[in-house]
Each structure stands twice: as C-alpha cells, then as structure tokens.
Amino acid sequence: MTSEPYRPRRSVLYVPASNEKALAKIASLACDAVIIDLEDAVAPGAKAAARERLADILAAPGRRCEMVVRINPLSSEWGADDLLAVARAGSDGILLPKIGTPRDVLEAGDLLDDNFASDSVKLWAMIETPKALLNVGAIAELGRDPASRLNCFVAGTNDLVKATGILATPDRRYLMPWLMQLVLAARAGGLDVIDGVANDFRDLGGFARECMEGAAMGFDGKSLIHPSQIEPANRAFAPAPEALAAARAIRDAFARPENAGKGVIAMDGRMVERLHLAAAEKLLAKAAAIRA
C-alpha cells in the first residue's frame, strides 16, 4: 500500500486527446485530476496522431492538476504503444481500461518495468466489466504491493450497464451493490476509488445529489464529462466544516497530557478510540491537501 502524501481526487475530468479546445482549457480548470482519453473518445483513425501529441499535452504550461492518460486496452493494436508513450511523456498515471484479472494490471507493470528504471508512473484500473467485478478483491490486493504500481480504481458505470443489461435509473438502485463492492475492495487494497460518470451534464442538481451519494458511499471523488460538474464534485467530496471541527476536537483531546498513551478516552459522553483518531487525522490531512 502506498505511503505517499494524500492527493485529492474529488473531481476527475475526462478530456479527449483529440479535442484541441478542451485540452487548451485544462490549466484554467479547478479539477483535482484530468484523464486524457486515448480510448473511447478517439476514433481509430486518429489514435496514433493523438498518442504522438501526448508529450506536448502533458508539458503544456500552467499544469496544476494530476494528469492521467487512459490508454487503449493492452490487447488492442494500440495498447502497448500507448502505455510506453504515456510513461515516456511524463504522465502522473496510466488508466487501464477493460481489465478483468490481476494479470492485466501486472502485465502493464511488467512492460513498464522492462522499459523504464523509475516506478513513478502509477497505474489506475477501470472496473467496467462483469469479469473485473467478480475479481475485484484479487485485483485490489495488488494495491498492497508498491511494485504493482496500482494506485486507484475508476468505476466504469456506463460499460457495466451495457454489459449486464440492468436498467439505468436515476437513483442507480441496480448499480448500488456493485459500487459498494468496489469501494469495499478498494479500501481493502489501500486504493483510492472514483465513482462513475453522470451522463446528463445539464442536470447539475441531479449531479450534485449523485456526488453526495457517492461521497456517502465512501468514494474519493467523481468522474466528470464536463467542466460545469467540477464545482459540485469538489464541494461534495470535500470534508464538511462540522466534520473537520469534530476531527480537530478528537485530535486535540488525544494530545492532552492526561490522555498520553491511552487507547480509549471519553469525549462528550461517548467513548472515542485511537481508530477514531486515525480517521480524524486522515480527514484533516485531506482538508490540508485541498487547501494546498
């Protein structure tokens, strides 16, 4: 499991690698991360040209957010070349689509290890197939081994709906069990986990509700398809003021001399354990990272 400093991923915006207008706006956006998409958003005939422009895209001035590139599947004619080009261009992460087993992640890591001395490029994994969901626990376990490079899960909800034939309802009732399973696996593996997209970017009220739901379910952030969704996602996945106040109170209580070394203390008529202290410190670190 990674011991790196916390990095907020409240808002993760997909940007097609072939969309010049959208790419030019990245530096002005307040999202925590951008996924430059070489897969679904780029036509087959344009994939090679989009890949060749990666270095310029990633080196653009004013870059502030985390930059991840979604490549084509390694099993495709473009995948291996995408992987090596992204790592060479200096991306923060590589998003692997259509994975099904831990072997898919390990093969990508092996290819990077064979060609690059540094292990700074992290792997993200799309969970978007029934096979991936069935194997999600084993895939997540790779997060406990830094050598695997696995750092984050992204829910591919549209693909899951298509592959399974479930009804896509506004409340996502049929997706909910799988989303909760994904969060559980990510936490077991020490991974971040990003909720899937909301397709109607004009319905910001519905989007905000879905973000709040995702935050309550334990997701770290939300996949976005339009810049108008950034602000609601940032707000929903940031710690609430009352939660921060409670976290500070727990931290300060354990810091008092009379509580030194105690595993459990009493606060306002309830018992508070050191596991609550750990959660409080994590929340405060998250808030500090967002401010920074």
The average confidence (pLDDT) of the chain is 93
Range of the domain at 65: 11-236
Show which of 236, 253, 269 is a domain's final residue.
236
How many domains in the chain? 2
Within-domain flag for 6: no
Quote the pLDDT of residue 210.
Answer: 97
Q: What confidence category does residue 6 fall into, taking pLDDT thresholds of 50, 70 and 90?
A: confident
pLDDT tens sequence across 225-239: 999 999 999 999 999
What CATH number does residue 133 fall under?
3.20.20.60
Tell me: do 138 and 272 sit in the same domain: no
The arithmetic mean of pLDDT across residues 246-250, rounded, is 94
Within-domain flag for 4: no
Distance CA 182, CA 134 (A): 10
Tell me: do 173 and 121 sit in the same domain: yes
Tell me: do 35 and 111 sit in the same domain: yes
Within-domain flag for 119: yes
Tell me: do 256 and 199 sit in the same domain: no
Within-domain flag for 5: no
Tell me: do 274 and 156 sit in the same domain: no
Tell me: do 60 and 177 sit in the same domain: yes
Distance CA 198, CA 176 (A): 14
Quote the pLDDT of residue 3.
Answer: 53
pLDDT tens sequence across 194-220: 999 999 999 999 999 999 999 999 999
Distance CA 98, CA 90 (A): 23
Q: Is the predicted pLDDT of residue 2 greater than 60, yes or no?
A: no
Tell me: do 232 and 245 sit in the same domain: no
Tell me: do 165 and 113 sit in the same domain: yes
Tell me: do 23 and 167 sit in the same domain: yes
pTM of the model: 0.91
Within-domain flag for 1: no
pLDDT tens sequence across 170-194: 999 999 999 999 999 999 999 999 9
Distances in Å between the alpha carbon of 238 and those of 44, 136, 234? 38, 26, 6
Distances in Å between the alpha carbon of 223 and those of 31, 68, 116, 156, 207? 10, 12, 29, 9, 11
Within-domain flag for 2: no
Tell me: do 227 and 160 sit in the same domain: yes
SS3 category, 223: strand
Tell me: do 158 and 45 sit in the same domain: yes
Question: Which residue from 265, 227, 263, 260 is spatially nearest to 26, judged by alpha carbons?
Answer: 227
Determine the Cα angle at 285 with ends 66 and 25, to 5°.
25
Question: Which residue from 98, 74, 147, 148 is spatially nearest to 83, judged by alpha carbons?
Answer: 74
